[in-house]
Amino acid sequence: MRKYLLFGIAVLLILSFSLAACGPKETPQDVTTEPGKEEDVGDQGETDKTPVTISFLTIADDLQAQAMDLIVKRFHEMEDGKYAHITIQFDAKPAAEIRNQLQNAVASGVPLDIIQVDGPQVKHFAYHKLLKDLSQDLTEEEMAQWVPQSIAEGSVGDAFYAPPMRQSCSIMWYNPEITDAAGIDVPNTLEEAWTYEEALDAWQKTTIDEDGDGVPETWGVMLGQGPYWGDYEYDLAARSAGVPGSPSFEGLGPDGITFEGYFNTPERVAAYEFVEKLYQEYKVATTEPIWDQYFTGGIAFQIYPDRLLGQIDKQYPDAPVAAAPPPYIETLICHTGS
């Protein structure tokens, strides 16, 4: 019965979220979406349904929370209320905390039912046998709705673990009001993309400390979604230091687990050192994660996924925004991922 119920909700959430069904439940403390009214569903299933609670560890995001409410509402209404007895209990955490939360849950013996994680992390979790293989639960038609890259991202060997939510690409967004005031002409074609050294010059010119207290009112740049170590954002510089097919560009061996000689090549080490200097020496980036800084004029440039447009559309419609290619060292590259 439990497997049946988990797959029932997967039918709906499969279009949007990474899934994992495993073991007993945790009791999250954050948002709880109440189930709909129990109804007689006739030949759709049993009329006397025992309430079921499914825990869902998800990334904290205001816009996504709104979407979650609509998804669960639709889930409770589908097939004449067949799943109305199921409560989805959300535990929303910042993206940087998702992995620690999952590891803590597993270590304490109370793993979660469903998790949402960045696509590149799926192989790591699957390798440690934390995820359920969904290969037999999905039809060929359902699998065909996703691009091959998303399927590869959610797979290990022949096993498929994670339906994708989306594909995205981090590019360099900038505030045209700030760059115009600084007299900076930002490139808008791939052929004109800045190197990191060229970008650094612009980031220095747009780091503004008007009162001289040592804390800029406007920072030159934020790499990604905050100053935490993440391969999705910070490895852009390191991979761009190599050429396609080289150890520096690949970052890990073809077996997927060998890092020595790939992750730590001299070119990549130099790139990591450059990124560190942005915070410690050049001081064009803040070490404190101040969310939504870009939208309120606190950051001139931000290397961020394209979902930034949704935040502007729904939350900051008046925020000035423009886009440019991400900077690079040897090879222009953009990370994608679901």
Task: Check residue 327 and report its DSSP letter.
Answer: P
On whether the CB atoms of residues 286 and 227 are closer than 8 A, the answer is yes
How high is the pLDDT of residue 21? 33
For residue 118 the two structure tokens come to 């960045």
Number of neighbours of residue 225 by Cβ within 10 angstroms? 22
Provide the mean pLDDT of the chain.
83
Q: Give, in order, the Cα–Cα distances in Å from 198 to each of 187, 194, 322.
A: 11, 5, 18
For residue 98 the two structure tokens come to 């998702």
Q: How confident is the model over 43-67, as a mean pLDDT?
A: 80
SS3 306: coil
Plot region of 72 (φ>0 → left; ψ -120 to 50 → alpha; else → beta): alpha
| Residue range 154-200, pLDDT digits in tens | 999 899 999 998 888 889 999 999 999 999 999 999 999 999 999 99
For residue 94 the two structure tokens come to 């910042």
On whether the CB atoms of residues 53 and 33 are closer than 8 A, the answer is no
CATH 3.40.190.10 domain position(s) in the chain = 2-160, 169-337
Alpha-carbon 165 to chain mean position: 10
Cα–Cα distance between 84 and 79 in angstroms, integer?
Answer: 10
pLDDT top residue among 5 and 335: 335
Cα–Cα distance between 338 and 119 in angstroms, integer?
Answer: 5
Q: Measure the CA angle with vertex 171, ends 168 and 174; round to 5°.
A: 130
On whether the CB atoms of residues 23 and 110 are closer than 8 A, the answer is yes
Cα–Cα distance between 18 and 10 in angstroms, integer?
Answer: 9
CB within 8 Å of 6: residues ≥ 6 apart: 21, 54, 113, 114
CB within 8 Å of 261: residues ≥ 6 apart: 247, 253
Interior/surface letters 104-140, b for 16+ CB within 10 angstroms, e for the rest: ebbeeeebbbbbbbbbbbbbebbeeebbbebeebbee
Q: Give, in order, the Cα–Cα distances in Å from 82 to each of 43, 114, 149.
A: 10, 20, 34
pLDDT band at 41 (very low <50, low <70, confident <90, very high): very low
Kindly tell me if the per-residue pLDDT of 24 is higher than 70. Answer: no
CA-based radius of gyration for the chain = 22
2-160 topology per CATH: D-Maltodextrin-Binding Protein; domain 2 (3.40.190)
pTM for this one? 0.69
Cα–Cα distance between 6 and 23 in angstroms, integer?
Answer: 12
Which of 251, 292, 294, 256 is closest to 271 using CA atoms? 251
Which of 175-179, 228-232, 330-334 is predicted with the least confidence, judged by mean pLDDT? 228-232
Amino acid making up residue 36: G
| Residue range 125-144, pLDDT digits in tens | 898 888 999 999 999 999 99
Which of 3-7, 133-137, 227-231, 324-328 is predicted with the least confidence, judged by mean pLDDT? 3-7
Superfamily in which the 169-337 domain is placed by CATH: Periplasmic binding protein-like II (3.40.190.10)
The single residue listed with the structure tokens 């400390």 is: 209
Cα–Cα distance between 171 and 111 in angstroms, integer?
Answer: 35
Cα–Cα distance between 239 and 249 in angstroms, integer?
Answer: 4
